[in-house]
Structure 1
Amino acid sequence: MISSETISSYLTRLAAKKPTPGGGAAAALHAAQGAALVAMVARYTTGAKYEQHAPLVQRITAAADGLVGEALRLADADEEAFQAVIDSYKLPSGTAELKAARAVGIQSALIQAAQTPARLIKLSGDIVDLATELFDVANANVISDVAAAADAARAAATTARVNIDINVVAVKDPEARARLARQTDGIEEKVVVAADALSTRVGERILG
Structure 2
Amino acid sequence: MRDEKISDFLTRLADRVPAPGGGAVAALHAAQAAALLGMVARYSTGERYAEHTLSIERIIIKTDELRFTALRLAEDDAAAFTAVTDAYKLPKDTEAAKAARSAAIAKALIGAGKPPAEVITVAQLAVELAEELLPIGNRNVITDIAAATEAARAAATTARVNVEINLGGIKDEQARAELATEVAKVDDIVARAERITAAVREEIGK
Letter in 1 for 2:177: A
2:190 matched residue in structure 1: 192
The number of equivalent residue pairs is 206
RMSD: 1.0
Rounded Cα–Cα distance in structure 1 between residues aligned with 2:143 and 2:178: 38
Note if 1:207 corresponds to 2:205. yes
Letter in 1 for 2:48: K
1:180 matched residue in structure 2: 179
Q: Report runs of 4+ in structure 1 exceeding 4 Å deviation.
A: none
The alpha carbon displacement at 1:180 in A equals 2.3
TM-score (norm 1): 0.96
Rounded Cα–Cα distance in structure 1 between residues aligned with 2:175 and 2:50: 50
Rounded Cα–Cα distance in structure 2 between residues aligned with 1:175 and 1:59: 35
1:167 matched residue in structure 2: 166
Rounded Cα–Cα distance in structure 2 between residues aligned with 1:180 and 1:48: 45
The alpha carbon displacement at 1:114 in A equals 0.3
Letter in 2 for 1:155: A
Note if 1:76 corresponds to 2:75. yes
After superposition, give the CA deviation of every residue in 1:151-190 in whole Å (9 maximum; x if it has no partner): 00000000000000111112234443233223x1421111
2:124 matched residue in structure 1: 125
Name the SS of the counterpart of 2:16 in structure 1.
coil
Rounded Cα–Cα distance in structure 1 between residues aligned with 2:184 and 2:19: 28
1:137 matched residue in structure 2: 136
After superposition, give the CA deviation of every residue in 1:95-141 in whole Å (9 maximum; x if it has no partner): 11011000000011001100111111011000011111000011111
Rounded Cα–Cα distance in structure 2 between residues aligned with 1:79 and 1:24: 7
Letter in 2 for 1:204: E
Please give the residue correspondences for 1:1-208 in structure 2 after superposition, counting only pairs within 5 Å.
2-182=1-181, 184-208=182-206
